[in-house]
Structure 1
Amino acid sequence: MHAILISEPGGPEVLEWREVPDPRPEPGEVVIDVTAAGVNRADLLQRQGNYAPPRGASEIPGMECSGVVSEVGADVEGFSPGDEVCALLAGGGYAEKVAVPWEQVTRVPEGVTTVEAASLPEVACTVWSNVFMTARLRRGETLLVHGGASGIGTFAIQLAKAFGAHVIATAGTAAKVARCRELGADEAINYREEDFAEKARADVVLDIIGAKYLRKNVSVLNTGGRLVVIGLQGGAKGELDLGALLAKRAAIHAAALRSRPVPEKGAIVRGVEQNVWPLVAAGAIRPVIHATVPMAQAGEAHRMLESGEHIGKVLLTR
C-alpha cells in the first residue's frame, strides 16, 4: 500500500507518499481500506517532531479515518468484511489501509457519506468524553467553546445545543463568528475585538488554548463550574489563582484522547454510538467540512490547517 511518511521533522514538505508494507490484523483488530482521513492539529505537531505517537502505535500520521473493513482478526466482535465504518486511531490514518482495535471502530452513522464520516471520530469522541462524560454538561447550563470555528468547536456547538445547553463560542474573524451562530451558538465573540472574560459566564469551558487563557477561563466560571483543557495552543505553563477556584468550588480537568488505553477509547466510542450518532442521523448534527485534499497531497492540507483560515474539518481522500 501507499502511505504518508514523515521524512524528518519539519514543514509540510517533509510529508511523503511512499510504498510501505500492508498492515495485517492482530487478534482483536480489523483492517480498514481507507476512504478518507481527518487532519488534526496533533498531526501538525507530530510532523514538527513535537508529538510522538504512543508506544506501539503506527508512525504514519492520522488519528481518524473512514472506509470499508477488508480483513478481520481473531476475537473481533461485531464487524465483518464489507462493513462501512469510521474509526478513532492512535496513528496510521494517512494511508490506503490501517489496522485498528475493533473497540475503536464504529459503523458510519446514518445520514452521512463515508467520506464525510472521516470528519467525525476525533471530534465526536473528544467532545463527548470531555464535555459530557467528564464535565457532565447538563440541559440549561452554559458551555463556552474556544475556537468555535475549528473542527472541535463546530461539533461542540452542535452537540451542546442538541442536549439543551446555552452555547457561547469565541472565534477570530467576522466570518467565523457568523458561522458559529449559524451552527447554533447563542452568543459568538470575536476575541480579536472583545474580551470574552468581560462578556461570558459559563458552567463548562472547553479550552484549546491553555496557559494564555487560564486566568480568564477561571474568571468566567460560575459556581461549581468546570474548565476542561484539551489543547495548549497558547502555552503549557500558566499561573493559577487557587483562591478563585476555591471560592467558586470549581474544577479543572486536562485530558488527551490519543494516549488512552484501548478499553477507555472503546467505552468512549460506544458512548458516541449510543448518544451522538442518533443526533447525526436525525440531522441535528452535521459534519462541517472546509475542504477535501487528495491524500498524496497531505502537505497542502497541513498548510491549509496552519493558515487558520479554515472553518470545520480538512479531510484527505483517496
Structure 2
Amino acid sequence: MLAAQIKDGQIEWQTDADVQPQQLAADEVQIRIAFAGVNRADLMQVAGAYPPPAGASSVPGLECSGIVTAVGSDVTKLNIGDRVAALLAAGGYAESVIVSQHQVLTLPPSWSLAQGAAWLETFATAYLNVFMLAQLSTTDVVFAHAGASGVGSALIQLCREQGNPIYVTASGDDKCAFCETLGATKAINRQQQDYVEILKAHGGVDVILNPVAGDSIARDQKILNQDGRIILIGLMGGREGSVDFGRMLMKRQQLMGSTLRALPSARKGEILTAMWQQFAEAFSAGRVRPILDKQFDAREINDALAYLKGNNSQGKVVVKIAELEDSQN
C-alpha cells in the first residue's frame, strides 16, 4: 500500500509492508482515501516533535475523506460505498485506512470529498474544547486566537449558529475580514491592535480557546470574566509562560489543557455524535461547513505542509490522494 513516511524532516511516498491494512476488527471499516486534511500536528510530527500515540501508525494524517470499501461484522451505521469522513490518530496520508466506525461520519449529500477531508479534526477540536469541556452556555462570550485557522473558522461558525458572540484575532486585515464574513462579532488584527485593551472595553469574555501558550495565557487572564475558562490546545508561542495565580484564584478562573489525537475511539465517537446531534441540520443545509483554502496534489504534500507552516491559510488545506468518483467535485 502506498503511504507517506517521514524522512529527514520531509514526507516521502513509498510502498511499505508495515503499513499494509490489517484484518478488520468487528467494529472497524476500511476507507479508500480520496483526500487528507493537513493540520499543524502533522507539521510537528514531521519535525520529530509530536510522535503518534502508542500503537498508532507512523503514517501522518489526522483526518481523511473517501469511500467505505469494507465493514466489520458489528458495523451497523455504515455501508460499502458510503462517502465518509474519518477522524484519525494517524494514517491519513495513505491509499487506505482502517478505523473504528465510531470515528467516521457520513458526508452530507451536498458536500464534496474535498470538504469532507477538511471537516472532522477542526470541528471536533472546536466542539470538544469549547462546547463540551468549557461547557459553553448560550450567554457566554467566546474569544479565540488564530481565527482564520481551520479550528478558528470552525469555531466561528459553530458559535454563530448557536448565537454566541465570538471575538478572534488574526494576522492581517484580509484575514480579519474573512473571519467577520464567517460570523465573528469582531476580528482584531493582532499585528496592529492590542486585543486585551479592545476586549476589556467590550466587557471581557467567558471562554477562550488558546493554541498559543507562552506569554499569551497571562494576557488572556486579563480579559477573562468571573468563572471564565481558558482551554489550551497548542504551543505555537512556546511551552513556558507566566500565569497570574492571584487573578485565577480571585476570579475563579480555570485553565485546562486538552488534546484530541490520543483520545480513545469511544471518546472520539462521543464527540462526533454530540456534535452531529447538535449541528446536523446546519451541516446538511450548508450553513456550517468546512472552509477550503487550498488543495494540493499528493506529490505536492511537502508544499502543502510548508504553506500551512507559513501561516498563509484562511481555512483548511487538503491533499488529494486519489481520484475517486464524487458527483460533488
When normalised by structure 1's length, the TM-score is 0.96
Give the secondary structure class of the aligned counterpart of 2:29.
strand
Give the Å deviation of 1:20.
2.8
Give the match for residue 108 of structure 1. Answer: 107
* Distance of aligned partners of 1:267 and 1:238 in 2 relative to their CA distance in 1, 3 Å threshold: same
Identical positions, percent: 38
Q: Quick one: distance in 2 between partners of 1:121 and 1:215?
A: 30
- Give the ranges of 4+ consecutive aligned residues of structure 1 lying more than 6 Å apart after TM superposition: none
Give the Å deviation of 1:189.
0.5
Matches within 5 A, 1:52-131: 52-131=51-130
Give the Å deviation of 1:211.
1.9
Give the Å deviation of 1:262.
1.5
Give the Å deviation of 1:78.
1.6
Q: Which moves more between the two structures, 94-103 or 75-84?
A: 75-84
Give the Å deviation of 1:276.
2.5
Give the match for residue 327 of structure 2. Answer: none
- The Cα offsets for residues 117-171 of structure 1, whole Å up to 9 and x where unpaired, read as 1100101111111100111122232110110000000111110111110110100
Q: Is structure 2 residue 181 aligned with structure 1 residue 178? A: no
Matches within 5 A, 1:193-208: 193-200=192-199, 201-208=204-211
Matches within 5 A, 1:149-298: 149-200=148-199, 201-298=204-301
Q: Is structure 2 residue 14 aligned with structure 1 residue 3? A: no
Q: CA RMSD in A?
A: 1.2
Give the conservation status (yes or no) of the 8 Å contact 1:4–1:296.
Answer: no
* Distance of aligned partners of 1:110 and 1:204 in 2 relative to their CA distance in 1, 3 Å threshold: farther
Q: Quick one: distance in 2 between partners of 1:241 and 1:171?
A: 25
Q: Is structure 2 residue 18 aligned with structure 1 residue 18? A: no
Give the match for residue 46 of structure 1. Answer: 45
What residue identity is the alignment partner of 1:6? I
Q: Quick one: distance in 2 between partners of 1:116 and 1:312?
A: 11
Give the conservation status (yes or no) of the 8 Å contact 2:213–2:234.
Answer: yes
Give the conservation status (yes or no) of the 8 Å contact 1:69–1:85.
Answer: yes
Give the conservation status (yes or no) of the 8 Å contact 1:32–1:97.
Answer: yes
Q: Quick one: distance in 1 between partners of 2:129 and 2:74?
A: 30
Q: Quick one: distance in 2 between partners of 1:205 and 1:32?
A: 35
Give the conservation status (yes or no) of the 8 Å contact 2:215–2:242.
Answer: no
Give the secondary structure class of the aligned counterpart of 1:75.
coil
What is the count of residue pairs matched by the alignment? 314
Give the Å deviation of 1:7.
1.9
Q: Quick one: distance in 1 between partners of 2:60 and 2:205?
A: 35
What residue identity is the alignment partner of 2:4? I
